[in-house]
Amino acid sequence: MTTNIPNAKPEITPANFPALRSFLRGYFHEDVADEYGTPVDAADQFCEDADGDERTAVANEWTLLMNLLQGRPLPEINQALIGKLGGAVRLNEEEIQQVSQIFARCLAVKPRKVANH
């Protein structure tokens, strides 16, 4: 259902969640268990690998998506992550909560200032 109301919730599309789509395709792929162990470990690794801007973009888009899907059944959340945004991993509710906590920490971390040499 698309609306033309100002401040309407964004549609869940790759165009509206580009950073999150890139994260899902790069970390929540078919080989997540072999590469990272669990989706939660993959999210943790992303926060270590990514630069501050990338971490912030993904964490903000994850938070927005979870807010849009709040109260929705788990299959609908996974459909958004997999079918609409390109991930390949089905998450359970505990994993969604843990990944949300990781991204909340990513947003809380202030970027370190690098001295110019």
Please give the average pLDDT of every successive group of 10 residues along the chain, which has 117 residues. Answer: 57 95 95 94 94 93 95 95 94 96 84 50
**pLDDT score for 3:** 45
Q: Identify the CA nearest to 101 among candidates 51, 17, 56, 43.
A: 43
Long-range contacts of 9-15 (CB under 8 A, 24+ apart): 9/68, 10/64, 10/68, 12/65, 12/68, 12/80, 12/84, 12/85, 13/84, 14/84, 14/85, 14/86
What is the model's pLDDT at position 1? 44
Tell me the whole-structure pTM to 2 decimals.
0.84
pLDDT at 109: 66
